[in-house]
């Protein structure tokens, strides 16, 4: 049972292997790129944060100068326009401080930003106090607060300059990291692509070898089976030319003696053996196979006094398809030996050739002994053994036909056997690929001339 399961288990197709190879290769490239892109995105996020902080610092520095400029202008002119410009600049600077406080930054940058914000708050209070002292004409207070405001202004400028320098150094480091990441991405991608290409070539060579080796083995097996069939059918080491010359001489002698039936019999014998020598180890057509069956049944009916009733129903559009030689006559021979030879009722064999969609069905029916389901299973699996009924068979049975058809067509489903049961006849069906519509329909050497009409061939 286990060996049967191993035989029926379908191997992985070449297409599935190639799809798996391409999928794994693509996944490897995608995984490497994802890892590198994650690192690059992290570096880019750091750069973006630094850039946003630098932008806020730049805007803050501009607002700082505007507050200082508008305060100095008011202290010199005491104009309404100057005081209004100061208040606008002060509000804008406070907004910049709030935005800077909420900006994302690392721990070191956060300390510097906190110092800038605290100094700025103090500086704004001092500038406001200076403006009030100037407006109230409190000279001593005005001088003190002004000097303090200028010192704080200088501190804030120094902090901003220092912070910008740190951010520049940080951005430069991130740029180096980002550049290195891109370079690594380039190298790793090239390496992965080269590795994938190497693996693809290697696997392709292996798959090609695995494809070609079975093809060569199949050709060798096909040749061996066909030669074996030829040897089994001939069953004698007789010089073919001598055999044909002898048969032709016998046919001529029969004609001279006006033994017409004997002459026709000998001619059919010569045609039968000539076909086996000519087609037994090569490709032929279904029409030629049908012609060989006609010769074979004629010879049998001479032997058995015409007791075999043989009729045909042939779709002539299918007779030109190529088939391996010697696949139909062994089926008819089995129908005679195993089916109808030892029955007491009328012995009938029917040959049908019909087209069904993309297949041609060749059926050989008999009304003989029939077969049980167990016996059919034994025959199809090659476990039937030797049948004592088949006393003069040449030994080329159904297994040989199935093996050669599977080799020829490259598929497993080539032959079916059906029977209602013992004593109710048997049908053996060959499954062939249908010809294309535009294919020519050559007539075989032994094709029946009456087309699709039903015919009887018995003596």
Extents of the domains making up the chain: 13-206, 280-456
pLDDT (0 to 100) of residue 234:
47
pLDDT (0 to 100) of residue 355:
93
CA neighbours closer than 13 Å in the CB half-sphere of residue 92: 18
Banded pLDDT at 34 (limits 50, 70, 90): confident
Over the stretch 410-422, which tens digit does the pLDDT of each residue have? 899 999 999 998 8
pLDDT (0 to 100) of residue 19:
73
Over the stretch 146-182, which tens digit does the pLDDT of each residue have? 888 888 888 888 888 887 777 777 667 666 776 776 6
pLDDT > 80? residue 459: no
Over the stretch 95-107, which tens digit does the pLDDT of each residue have? 888 887 776 666 7
Banded pLDDT at 287 (limits 50, 70, 90): very high
Which CATH topology does 280-456 take?
A: Heat Shock Protein 90 (3.30.565)
State what percent of residues in the chain have pLDDT above 90: 13
pLDDT (0 to 100) of residue 393:
43
Three state DSSP letters for the chain: CHHHHHHHCCCCCHHHHHHHHHHHHHHHHHHHHHHHHHHHHHHHHHHHHHHHHHHHHHHHHHHHHHHHHHHHHHHHHCCHHHHHHHHHHHHHHHHHHHHHHHCCCCHHHHHHHHHHHHHHHHHHHHHHHHHHHHHCCCHHHHHHHHHHHHHHHHHHHHHHHHHHHHHHHHHHHHHHHHHHHHHHHHHHHHHHHHHHHHHHHHHHHHHHHHHHHHHHHHHHHHHHHHHHHHHHHHCCCCCHHHHHHHHHHHHHHHHHCCCHHHHHHHHHHHHHHHHHHHHCCCEEEHHHHHHHHHHHHHHHHHHCCCCEEEEEEECHHHCCCEEECCCCHHHHHHHHHHHHCCCCCCEEEEEEEEEECCEEEEEEEECCCCCCHHHHHHHHHCCCCCCCCCCCCCCCCHHHHHHHHHHHHCCCCCEEEECCCCCCCEEEEEEEECCCCCCCCCCCCCCCCCCCCCEECCC
pLDDT > 80? residue 204: no
Q: Picking from 23-37, 117-131, 149-163, 350-364, which range would have the lowest pLDDT averaged per residue? A: 23-37
Tokens of 198: 């190497």
pLDDT > 60? residue 390: no
Quote the radius of gyration of the chain (alpha carbons, Å): 50
The CATH code of the domain at 13-206 is 1.20.120.1730
Over the stretch 123-135, which tens digit does the pLDDT of each residue have? 888 888 888 888 8
pLDDT (0 to 100) of residue 9:
53
Tokens of 8: 């029926």
Q: Provide the mean pLDDT of the chain.
A: 76
Tokens of 274: 């000539």
pLDDT (0 to 100) of residue 237:
41
Tokens of 43: 């570096």
Query: What is the rounded distance in angstroms from the CA atom of residue 28 to the CA atom of residue 241?
Result: 68
Query: What is the rounded distance in angstroms from the CA atom of residue 411 to the CA atom of residue 321?
Result: 17
pLDDT > 50? residue 356: yes
pLDDT (0 to 100) of residue 395:
37
pLDDT > 90? residue 351: yes
pLDDT (0 to 100) of residue 419:
92
109-133 average pLDDT score: 84
pLDDT (0 to 100) of residue 206:
75
pLDDT (0 to 100) of residue 392:
43
pLDDT (0 to 100) of residue 354:
95
């Amino acid at each position: 049972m286990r060996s049967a399961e191993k035989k029926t288990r379908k191997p992985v197709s070449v297409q599935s292997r190639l799809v798996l190879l391409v999928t794994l290769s693509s996944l490897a490239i995608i995984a490497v790129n994802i890892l590198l892109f994650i690192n690059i995105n992290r570096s880019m996020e750091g750069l973006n944060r630094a850039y946003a902080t630098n932008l806020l610092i730049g805007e803050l520095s501009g607002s700082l100068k505007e507050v200082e400029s508008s305060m100095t202008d008011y202290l010199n002119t005491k104009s309404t326009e100057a005081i209004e410009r100061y208040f606008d600049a002060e509000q804008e600077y406070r907004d910049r401080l709030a935005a800077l406080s909420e900006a994302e930054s690392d721990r070191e940058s956060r300390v510097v930003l906190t110092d800038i914000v605290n100094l700025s708050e103090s500086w704004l209070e001092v500038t406001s106090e200076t403006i009030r002292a100037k407006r109230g004409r409190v000279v001593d207070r005005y001088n003190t607060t002004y000097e303090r405001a200028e010192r704080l202004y200088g501190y804030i400028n120094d902090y901003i300059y220092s912070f910008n320098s740190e951010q520049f150094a940080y951005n430069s480091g991130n740029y180096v990291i980002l550049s290195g990441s891109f370079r690594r991405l380039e190298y790793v991608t090239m390496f992965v692509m080269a590795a994938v290409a190497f693996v693809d070539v290697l696997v392709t060579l292996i798959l090609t070898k695995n494809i070609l080796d079975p093809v060569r083995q199949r050709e060798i097996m096909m040749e061996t089976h066909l030669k074996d069939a030829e040897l089994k059918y001939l069953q004698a080491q007789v010089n073919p030319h001598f055999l044909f010359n002898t048969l032709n001489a016998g046919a001529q002698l029969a004609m001279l003696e006006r033994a017409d039936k004997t002459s026709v019999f000998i001619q059919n014998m010569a045609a039968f053996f000539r076909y086996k020598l000519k087609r037994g180890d090569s490709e032929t057509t279904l029409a030629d196979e049908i012609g060989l069956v006609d010769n074979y049944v004629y010879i049998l009916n001479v032997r058995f006094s015409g007791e075999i009733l043989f009729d045909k129903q042939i779709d002539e559009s299918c007779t030109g398809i190529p088939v391996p030689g010697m696949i139909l006559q062994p089926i008819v021979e089995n129908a005679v030996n195993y089916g109808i030879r030892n029955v007491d009722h009328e012995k009938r064999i029917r040959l049908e050739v019909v087209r069904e969609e993309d297949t041609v069905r060749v059926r050989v029916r008999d009304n003989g002994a029939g077969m049980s389901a167990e016996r059919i299973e034994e025959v199809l699996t090659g476990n039937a053994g030797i049948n004592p009924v088949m006393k003069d068979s040449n030994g080329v049975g159904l297994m040989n036909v199935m093996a050669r058809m599977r080799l020829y067509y490259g598929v497993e489903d080539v032959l079916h056997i059906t029977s209602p049961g013992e004593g109710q006849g048997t049908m053996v069906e060959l499954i062939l690929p249908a010809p294309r519509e535009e294919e020519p329909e050559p007539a075989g050497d032994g094709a029946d001339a009456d087309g699709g009409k039903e015919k009887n061939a018995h003596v």
